[in-house]
Amino acid sequence: MTVNEDTPAIAMRGITISFPGVLALDHVDFTLRRGEVHSLMGENGAGKSTLIKALTGVYPIDSGTIAVDGEERVFSATADAQTAGISTVYQEVNLCANLSVGENVMLGHEPRGRAGIDWKAVHRLAAEHLAGLGLAVDTRSILSSHSIAIQQLVAISRAMVLDAKVLILDEPTSSLDRGEVERLFAVIRELRDQGVAILFVSHFLEQVYEISDRITVLRNGRLVGEHLAADLPRDSLVSQMIGRELDELDAISRTADRVIDRTAAPVLRATGVGRRGMLEPADLDIYEGEVVGLAGLLGSGRTELVRLLYGADKADSGTVEIGGRPARLTSPRHAIDHRIAFSSEDRRAEGIIADLTVAENIVLGIQAKRGWMRPVRRAERDQVVSEYISALGVRPADPDMLVRNLSGGNQQKVLLARWLATAPQLIILDEPTRGIDVGAKADIQRKVAELSAQGLSVVFISSELEEVLRLAQRVVVMRDRRRIGELDSSTVDLDLLIDYIANEGEGSAA
Amino acid sequence: MKKLVTHRLFWPVMALLALIVVNTIARPQFISVTLRDGELYGALIDILRNSAPLMLVALGMTIVIATRGIDLSVGAIMAVSGAVALTIIDTSGDPGSGATVAVALLVGILVALVLGVWNGFLIAVLGIQPIIATLVLMLAGRGVALLITDGFITTVTSAPYKFIATGYVIGLPFALFISVAAIIVIALLERRTALGVLTESVGINPEASRLAGVRARGIVFGAYAASGVLAGMAGILYSSNIMAADANAAGLYIELYAILAVVLGGTSLMGGKFTIAGTVVGVLTIQTLESTILFLGVPSAQAPVFFAAVVIVVVLVQSPRLHRFARGLFASRRPDGGGPSTPAPTPPTTTEPTKAEAVR
């Protein structure tokens, strides 16, 4: 260390980035010191990835400064950040899978002899770099022949070749097993001790606490706080990430206290439904007219569970009963035939058909159910569309507008309309209120409350726990791809639920 | 007026009209249609008649492209269906009989359907990329056709078969009726049922469509089967025109012209929204351009270059980016009050719209 020890490797001050209609980062400060592992925490949309992209030169910043080793820099391209010594290893390894390990490690920095690249030296140097991380692999083997874990370590040694002073690890452990995580962590600690500043992002709380020296929490594009990991208890981390807004949504009557008749056969009963590498076998019962909340952080398995129930992904264990009868749900069609509807958390990629109109998007569910031979007639279509546009308050109320031009909240209403129009008995809503304005949020919650009172069963997933507690009679809690328990929401409050999500089942099984 | 200009068929139609105008100025008899023995003749009639095979293929290509796919095998399928039909006629005892020709047509189209189903199977069921899956048949199909004709160019004499491409009905070429019928059937099938909107939905967002319960697999499968059948019909038209099954020349490069016609008509190669009317205009544009080359007496060695040059101009005329650029030119001249008759200098300030887009 030639520079002053106290100068942080990275000092970001007052970083602001806005996208059309959204303030993605609002005067965020972030400091990364040499020789520390620093975790960046926050739910989806909190601004984590935007902050990383600002630091790696992907997004230009609207205001604020970035200083590397005390020297202010402007990154107008990713190459600028790399020259400054900032390297990133992404969740999906961004190396050349069809090249050899050695070629990948040394790519762009191949030693040259008189007759072009000296391949012997390439592989020798690559092997040295890999050995430095305790990795002994054949540098001439093809990268894709190795596990994701090894590929990730290769990506890290590549970063070391680039002489990285700052290493950003974005969800590096999401596809690794326990042993592989240990190995990765050993490498991370080794690098930290060499003085590399490491920015770590993961949804796994336990791993964050295992590896981090310091934690910075973001929420809704704002800095919530920076803490030493040792000084920050889990539950206060979780409540900082989730936040508690006192909002006008309290006006909605609590449906949570409604009494549900659980004597009849459940609308859906899942027993031991799971899939290797995705979700440990879990149980779930949903009765008529009941709202069941799924709570847990992102990546806890809440989305995975409902995708298996809907047949969007295929379960490899467990059984499902619908109305007391065994059913096989191996594709969305099967689920739809059993009058189950599913609205994905990824509105853009898995929900709306952006280039079709509002009307076409709304009737798509009915149309798909009927098949192409029996088109929804104009009069019927107009009637269904205008009914749902007014019932859900879609703005603007123009059925011929392309859905891509609607705001997120209105797109969500269109999706809700699509599913309600198919008259389901069970609707699964995954993050229906994420990233939408308060008005639309209230509209959607009100509709859910109203429909469940009429007998519709609902599975409701949301990162906003207040919302879950307000709507659901029962809350099923997930963590680390596991169901850890179930709570009666009339007997718990927010603090209890947060504590449960953070701590329940630690050490011993729930 | 603004509504007319912003209609998505405006520029394709303008390009076609411009070509017709240029031809008419070059040789006024281009536009004339004469009645001889109760049958209509003229350059325009020829264009309508000769465009039939490309029209059929391009209709199928439109549906396939709407599903985010591509069908490179249409030319090869044409060769196979022509070879099958003519071999049946050639080997039958009575090549002139209507029954023989009917069997030949049926079997020829049926074989084309089988080939289309094969493509659909590879793509929709096995999940092979469309460009690779159809490339297989594009390369192998002509070999199959050669196998059927034993490596020869089969020629036959059969009045009913010849009628398909060259006959006249109520004063108009019979081939024109085939292509109009195909347009109507496809348009009705796509737009009067829900097939069109479901196809677009699969093309725009396959995963969202699957989760919405759309049987995406069946729709993609059907698109390739339909493309196969239409290519089979085109192959029969082609072989009927020359009364020979030429496995190497039948439908050569037609897949490329069909893709060009679809794009000229305004359907995006990215899939999703498609327009049948646009494809019809695109096909007629290409066919008119072919006639223009003959009409203007462009030497055959230079014909491809001429063709390419005109296509580039037509594509540029339709380009939204160029429209913005042109609007920029117009807008930047406005403030200094220069009369509209002042010839536009080449201003360096008008790259703004394109730059703004690049940033986005």
Q: How confident is residue A428, by pLDDT bands cut at 50, 70 and 90?
A: very high
Say if CB A284 and CB A309 are below 8 A apart.
yes
Domain extent, residue B191, equals 51-275
User: B208 touching A, CB under 8 A?
Assistant: yes
φ and ψ at residue A434, rounded to 5 degrees: -70, 135
Mean pLDDT of A367-383: 92
Amino acid at A67: A
Closest among B294, B163, B288, B306 to B236, alpha carbons compared: B163
Please indicate whether the domains covering A10-242 and A246-339+424-510 agree at the CATH topology level. yes
Judged by a CB distance cut-off of 8 A, whether residue B207 touches chain A is: yes
**Nearest CB to B211; choose among A332, A360, A373:** A332
Whether B163 and B77 share a structural domain? yes
Is 60 exceeded by the pLDDT of residue A246? no
d(CA A214, CA A230): 8
CB atoms A365 and B201 under 8 Å: no
Beta strand spans in A80-172 (E): 86-89, 112-113, 116-117, 166-170
Nearest neighbour of A360 by CB, restricted to B197, B208, B210 = B197
What type of residue is B62? T
CB contact under 8 A, B208 and A351: yes
User: Rounded to an integer, what distance in angstroms lies between the CA atom of residue B140 and that of residue B72?
Assistant: 12
CA distances to B54, B179, B234, B242 from B61, rounded to whole Å, are 10, 14, 13, 24
Structure-derived torsion over alpha carbons of residues B210, B211, B215, B221, reported in degrees to the nearest 10: 10
pLDDT band at A1 (very low <50, low <70, confident <90, very high): very low
Amino acid at A84: A
Residue A274's identity, in one-letter code, is G
Which residue on chain A is closest to B190 by alpha carbon?
A372
CA of B214, closest CA in chain A: separation in Å?
5
CATH class of the region A10-242: alpha beta
A121 touches chain B (CB under 8 A): no
- Give the model's confidence band at B86: pLDDT under 50 very low, under 70 low, under 90 confident, else very high: very high
Domain ranges within chain A, ordered by starting residue: 10-242, 246-339+424-510, 348-422
Q: How far is CA B249 from CA A251, B116, B162, in A?
A: 75, 20, 18
- Whether residue B138 contacts residue B255, with contact meaning beta carbons closer than 8 Å, is answered with yes
A309 CB near a chain B CB, below 8 Å?
no
pLDDT at A230: 92
Nearest alpha-carbon partner for B282 in B74, B65, B16: B16
Residues B51 and B46: their CA atoms lie apart, in Å, by 8
Residue A298, pLDDT > 60, answer: yes
What's the pLDDT at B317? 79
Kindly state whether residues B209 and B101 are assigned to the same domain. yes
| Inside any domain, residue B30 | no
Q: What is the pLDDT of residues B38-47, one digit of tens each?
A: 889 988 999 9
pLDDT given for residue A220 in this prediction: 80
Judgement on whether residues B355 and B233 belong to the same structural domain of the protein: no
Task: Note the pLDDT of residue B332.
Answer: 57
In a shared domain, residues B233 and B354: no
Domain count, chain B: 2
Instruction: Return the percentage of chain A with pLDDT > 70, whole number.
Output: 92
Does B338 have pLDDT greater than 50?
A: no
Q: Tell me the pLDDT band of B344, cut-offs 50, 70 and 90.
A: very low
User: Which range (A129-133, A224-228, A326-330, B228-232) has the least confidence?
Assistant: A129-133
Q: In angstroms, rounded to a whole number, what is the distance separating the alpha carbons of residues B353 and B360?
A: 11
pLDDT at B359: 35
Of A433-437, B151-155, B221-225, highest mean pLDDT: B221-225
User: Is the pLDDT assigned to residue A507 strictly greater than 90?
Assistant: no
Between CA A241 and CA B334 the distance in angstroms is 54
pLDDT at A152: 83
Q: Which of A415-419, B144-148, B295-299 comes out lowest in average pLDDT?
A: B295-299
Inside any domain, residue B243: yes
Q: What is the mean pLDDT of residues A199-215?
A: 89
pLDDT in tens, B274-315: 999 999 999 999 999 988 888 888 888 888 898 899 888 888
CB A272 within 8 A of CB A283: yes
Interface of A with B in 417-436 (CB under 8 A): 418
Asked if residue B330 and residue B219 are part of one domain, the reply reads no
Q: Which residue has the tokens 């947060």?
A: A498
pLDDT tens, B119-135? 999 999 999 999 999 99
Comparing CA positions, the residue from A365, A279, A407 lying closest to residue B208 is A365
Q: Does B145 reside within a domain? A: yes
Query: Mean pLDDT throughout B83-88?
Result: 96
Q: pLDDT at residue B325 above 90? A: no
Give pLDDT, residue B358.
36
For position B355, what pLDDT does the model report? 34
How many other C-beta atoms lie within 10 A of the C-beta of residue A263?
Answer: 6
Beta bridge partners of A358: none
A378-392 vs A358-370: helix axis angle to the nearest 10? 120
Q: Is the pLDDT of residue A250 over 70?
A: no
For residue A506, pLDDT over 70 is answered with: no
Question: What is the average pLDDT score of chain B?
Answer: 88
**Both B329 and B183 in a single domain?**
no
Query: Is the same domain home to B131 and B209?
Result: yes
Domain shared by B246 and B123, yes or no:
yes
Examine the domain organization and report whether B269 and B352 are in the same domain.
no
Residue B19 lies in a domain: no
Round to whole Å and give the CA distance between A165 and A33. Answer: 10
Cβ contact, residue pair B273, A355, below 8 Å: yes
Percentage of chain A exceeding pLDDT 90: 45
- Residue B29 has what pLDDT? 86
Name the β-bridge partners of A66. A12, A73
Residues B105, B245: one domain?
A: yes
Residue with tokens 């749902």: A388
* Least confidently predicted of A256-270, A273-287, A386-400: A256-270
Q: How far is Cα B242 from Cα B78, in angstroms, rounded to an integer?
A: 14
pLDDT tens-place string over residues A462-495: 877 888 888 899 999 998 889 999 998 888 888 8
Element (DSSP H or E) covering residue A29: strand A22-32
Higher pLDDT, B72 or B37: B72
Q: Which of B192, B194, B208 sits opposite A353 (nearest CB)?
A: B208
**B195 and B327 fall within a common domain:** no
- Work out whether strand A291-295 and strand A317-322 pair parallel, antiparallel, or are unpaired: unpaired
Of A336, A349, A367, the CB nearest to B194: A367
Q: What is the pLDDT of residue B333?
A: 52
Tokens for B354, please give them.
Answer: 């394109």
The dihedral over CA atoms of A144, A149, A151, A154, expressed in degrees to the nearest 10, equals: -150
Whether residue B242 is found in the same domain as residue B173 = yes
What pLDDT was estimated at residue A455? 92
Give the 3-state secondary structure of A428-460. Answer: EEECCCCCCCHHHHHHHHHHHHHHHHCCCEEEE
pLDDT tops 50 at residue B69: yes
| B350 pLDDT tier (thresholds 50, 70, 90) | very low
Cβ contacts of A374 on chain B, cutoff 8 Å: 193-194
Place of tokens 């199928």: B60
Q: How high does pLDDT run on average in chain A?
A: 86
- On whether residue B20 sits in a domain, the answer given is no
For residue A497, how many C-alpha atoms fall within 13 Å in the half-sphere facing its CB? 32
Residue type, A5: E
Does the complex come out with an ipTM higher than 0.85?
A: no
CA distance A145 to A126: 17
Look at A19 and A410; give whichever has higher pLDDT: A410
Tell me yes or no: is domain A246-339+424-510 CATH 3.40.50.300: yes
Q: Please tell me which of the candidates A355, A365, A372 has its beta carbon nearest to residue B213.
A: A365
**Would you state the pLDDT for residue A96?**
86
Q: Tell me, what's the pLDDT at A235? A: 80
